[in-house]
Every structure is written in C-alpha cells, then in structure tokens.
Amino acid sequence: MKIAITADCHLNRQVYKNTLDKEFITIPFRSADYIRSLKWIVDQCIEMKPDLFVIAGDIYDYYEPTNELRGILSFQLSRLAEAKIATVLMTGNHDICKKHHALKDLQELNLKSLKIVDKPYSMVFKKNLFLFFPYSLDIEQKNKTTKEEFTEFVNRVKANMPSDIEETFFFGHFAVKGAKLNTYKVLDEESMNDDDLDGLVTATTTTIVEKTKNYLNQNAHDITVSDLDSIGAKYVFLGDYHEHQFLSTKKCYSMYCGSIEKSSFNEKEQDKGFVVYDSEVKEIENYGKSRFVKYPNSRTMLEFKGNLKSIYAAINEIDASKYQGSIVKVYCVGSDEELMEFSVGLKELLKTVDNKFSPVYKLYGQKLIGSVGVSLADVLEQKVMDQGHIGNDDVIKVVEEMIKERFTNEKECKRALDLAHEIYQSIGQK
C-alpha cells in the first residue's frame, strides 16, 4: 500500500501581490509558486499511483479563494480522480473562519473519489485504520480546545477499535509542544563567544555576528508528543508547521510533512516536497516505511547582510546560474557612515542584482549597529520584508501598542483596548 501525504498548500498566498506571475498572468507570483508545486506533486502521484492522497490542512492561505483558484484546485483534483487515486482534503486553520470553510463547495459535490474532512473522522481502508483530525469549526468557534477535541476523538476510536486492523495511520493539523516553529537569523554585536554562531559578516568599521536561533513551541495547552504516542498509531503525519521535521515520539513514527513551497526568508534553506508511505520498502530511522520526496523547483531566495563592500563581495562569490529568478533581499547593517554609503550606492547595487540574478522580486533595508532594543515597528518591518504583508494579528498588536502609549488613564485605556478587540473579533467572524 502507498499513501502520499502533503500539507500547507496555501494556494491563494498573497505576498508581494502586486507582482504577477509570467505563467499565471492574473495571479501573484508567490501564489503561482504554490500552484506549480501542487501540480508537480499531483504529477508524481499520477506516476506512482498511491492508494490514497492526503492533504493535511491549509489548502488555502485564506478562507475566501477566488473562483480562478478554486478552478485550479478542482482541475488538479479531477486529474487525481481520472487516475483513480482516492483523495482526502482536511481543513486547516487557514481554510476556516467562524461560520464556514473554503472547501464547502467541494464537500457539497459529494464526489466518490474525494473526501472533505472538516471534523474528526475515521475509516477502514484495505484493513488499515485511518484517523483524520482536521482544524474544525468547533475549535475555531472555541466550543472546544484542540486538546479537548483530540482527547475525545482518541478515546472514541479506542472504544470502537476494529479487531482485524493491520496498521493505524493518523493525519492531523495542529501545533505540537516542543516542535520547531521556525529558524531565525539574528544580528548581534555582543555574542562573539556564543557556541551557536552561524557565521560572520565583516564590515569596514563594524563586525557583527549572525546567530541561528531555533524557536520551539512551548505552549502548555497544545498537543504533546506523549499525546501522539497515546493514539496507538504506527504513523502520524501532520500539517500546520512549515518545516519538514520529526517529533520525538517513542511509540510511533511522527513528522510534519512541511509546506509545499517556501513562505518566507526564514524557510529559504528548507527542502520542500511531500511524504510517501510505502508498505513494500524497508524501515529506516525516523521515517519507518515513509520517505520525503523533495520538490526540485522551489523558489530560491538570496539574502545579503553587511555593509556595501561585504554585500558586493558576497554577491560576487555566488554562482548566479543556480539563482536565476530568485527573491533577493539586501540588508545593510553598520554604522551611520556605512548606512549613508549604502543609501548612496543602493541604485547601482540593485542594478548589479538585476544583471546577475534576474530576480523576480527585490527587497532592501538597513539597521544601525548600536541601536538599543527592538521595537514592534522593527519586528513588523522585518516581517513585511520577509513575507510582503502583515496579518490581522499583527495589526491588533500595533493598535494595542498605540492605545497603551496614548492613554494614561487606566480605565480609559482598558475601554479602548476592549473596543479594539471587539472590532477585531467582529472582522474575524466575517
């Protein structure tokens, strides 16, 4: 038996949305990147003919996709149906709002080869038990926590476990405590002796350190690896976190499949693709009888940090043939003089980037060495540079900061904050 699993397709991703794609001429190029990746995965499935294809949530990036994107997804699903490949689509947190979800139209078609899973569901298929745990409306509406619904589902399955099951597979879309949220590069002047230094950028008058930091989910209310072990499944395949990674379970093989494309510069070095379980192959460490299949055409991203001189030096060292059509970011870090030199030379620098890499998109910014602290504005500026936009959660954080700065009276501040959150919640329910 073969099962192909992927997650986090984010087909209507709207980053850098003013730059349209050359192939899909009405669609932002980043959304088109995800479409091409999904098409490639479907191509691979048609060739290998798995018994089941599962997308473990976040088919869309936003719960109101355009008709054009719905049509693109429907076409790929029709190709799978023609190849007689049973397909399961699970809702993820990006697919859902308070009242409905983006897969409702497909669900209402009630197609034989396609199953839309928007609440916990189990089925027996070829003497194997398949458990599906999507991000549901009950969780979104806060009728239940993820952990409450998870516990109820697992207990219900155990109470009604068929006696002749050969293997159990679990597919979910949620956060796991202890899993890696993401890897960030942090600029630091003071940490020259740290053990986790990733590299140095040497400027004319300033030496800075670029550290790699792995951020782990520490939310005590999330599902734990012990919870995953309690399922009784041999394999656990998850969506939600974008990095393909293994979880430290003891009784099962468990992993995040990862997103099908890179969503930001924090993912620029990550491999993207999908996972295949094959009962005929030998078990190996971490994967068991599953394997990761790498997508070879993931959008390349280049990031250059330092002063003008060191950025030019780094650009000249790179084999440009491997990075044509990249997203390129240049970021000056240095003294007042170095920032001034960068500003004066920026136009010529961007011309050099154009000539060498023919980038699909360019970003640039700067940071003064020696500045104390990091404001919310700095964080959001970096997020816009990395992702091309900020989300609703970021907006409410900015509003909260502004309210706290402007209101000295505690009661007035609380009233303003309550009003802001009331407006935010009403928007989120539309």
E-only strand ranges, 178-285: 180-188, 197-202, 207-216, 235-239, 245-246, 253-256, 273-278
Confidence category of residue 293, pLDDT binned at 50, 70, 90: very high
pLDDT at site 219:
85
Amino acid letter for position 390? I
Q: Which of 405, 374, 404, 379 is CA-nearest to residue 394?
A: 379
What is the three-class DSSP state of 222?
coil
Specify the pLDDT at position 297: 96
pLDDT given at position 329: 94
Other CB atoms within 10 Å distance of the CB of residue 143: 11
The confidence score (pLDDT) of residue 191 equals 34
Task: Out of 17-21, 123-127, 169-173, give the one with best mean pLDDT.
Answer: 169-173
Contact 145, 221 (CB under 8 A): yes
Give per-residue pLDDT as tens, 39-55: 999 999 999 999 999 99
Question: How many other β-carbons are positioned within 10 Å of the β-carbon of residue 215?
Answer: 11
Nearest to 140 by CA among 131, 152, 149: 149
d(CA 212, CA 194): 11
Name, in order, each residue with C-beta under 8 angstroms of 138's C-beta and a sequence gap of 6 or more: 119, 144, 149
- 225: tokens are 């690896």
Question: What confidence tens digit (pLDDT) does each residue in 58-117 have?
Answer: 999 989 999 999 999 999 999 999 999 999 999 999 999 888 899 999 999 888 899 999
| pLDDT digit string, tens, across residues 301-312 | 999 999 999 999
Predicted confidence at residue 201, as pLDDT, reads 37
Cβ atoms < 10 Å from Cβ of 171: 28
Which residue ranges make up each domain of the chain? 2-179+217-294, 301-390
CA distances for 247 relative to 255, 311, 341, angstroms:
6, 37, 47
pLDDT per residue as tens digits for the range 321-355: 999 999 999 999 888 899 999 999 999 999 999 99
Once rounded to an integer, what is the mean pLDDT over residues 201-229? 69
Structural tokens at position 190: 């003071």
d(CA 22, CA 360): 10
- Which residues lie below 8 Å from residue 142, measured CB to CB, with a gap of 6+? none
- The per-residue DSSP string of 319-339 comes to -GGG-TT-EEEEEEEE-HHHH
Q: Assign domain 2-179+217-294 one CATH number from 3.30.428.10, 3.30.450.20, 3.60.21.10, 3.40.630.30.
A: 3.60.21.10
- Three-state DSSP class for residue 236: strand
